[in-house]
Amino acid sequence: MSTFVLVPGAWHGAWAFDAVTSLLHAAGHAVHGLTLTGLRPGDDDATVANANLDTHAEDVLRLLDRAEIADATLVGHSYGGMVVSAAADRAGDRISRLVYLDAYVPQHGDSCWSSTTEAYRRSFVDGAADTGFAVRPPVRAGRVGDPRRRPHPLASLVQSIRLTGAIDRVPRREFVFCTGWPDGTPFTGLRDRLRADPGWQVHDLPTGHDAMREAPHLVADLLLT
């Protein structure tokens, strides 16, 4: 039996992985979905304003402690790649596998802000205009966003990650590249870099960015390999 910890991307909660969670449970595995600090329905403005990348890494570490998990597969989607990287670097030998599901794979000193495209940086700034600390979920023409999405803590998107190199000792590291973005993926360069690195496995999925909702069976099958 494997133990999976599923970390969603910006604006999302554990609900984003519901279909994948059900499939992993049905296959006999333990699954923990996380809704990060500042994204929970009861979080007040002060909680959102003070949540940063370190806060979110601590969310993962607290879960490992609380559930007494000593051999985890961390799965991060999109911004969640920043979170699982920071957590894995601090988790000692408790992480056996990292899966970046169309997610950022940072190096020391990177942030989501520095790693993303100019269009996303503009959306962060525009989305935070109301409060200065919480980024509204983006609205894209012709698409209806999930109503469960919540404003995302700006500090977590701009804070630089601190990595000691301990993450490099995780035995299994994988990147999942989603090929079906309708308007072009920001992850092509990252896929090419990791594909050339013998320490990484790279998988392609014929889905849009939200693969866990568009094709949960494909995502679950990949996680179960």
Per the listing, tokens 């969310």 go with: 59
What is d(CA 167, CA 196) in angstroms, rounded to the nearest whole number? Answer: 19
What would the 3-class secondary structure string for the chain be? CCEEEEECCCCCCHHHHHHHHHHHHHCCCEEEECCCCCCCCCCCHHHHHHCCHHHHHHHHHHHHHHCCCCCEEEEEECCHHHHHHHHHHHCCCCEEEEEEECCCCCCCCCCHHHHCCHHHHHHHHHHCCCCCCEECCCCCCCCCCCCCCCCEEHHHHHCCCCCCCHHHHCCEEEEEEECCCCCCCCCHHHHHHHHCCCCCEEEEECCCCCHHHHCHHHHHHHHCC
Rg of the Cα trace of the chain? 16
Residue of 2, 22, 78, 85 with catalytic role: 78
Active site includes 78? yes
Provide the annotated active-site residues: 78
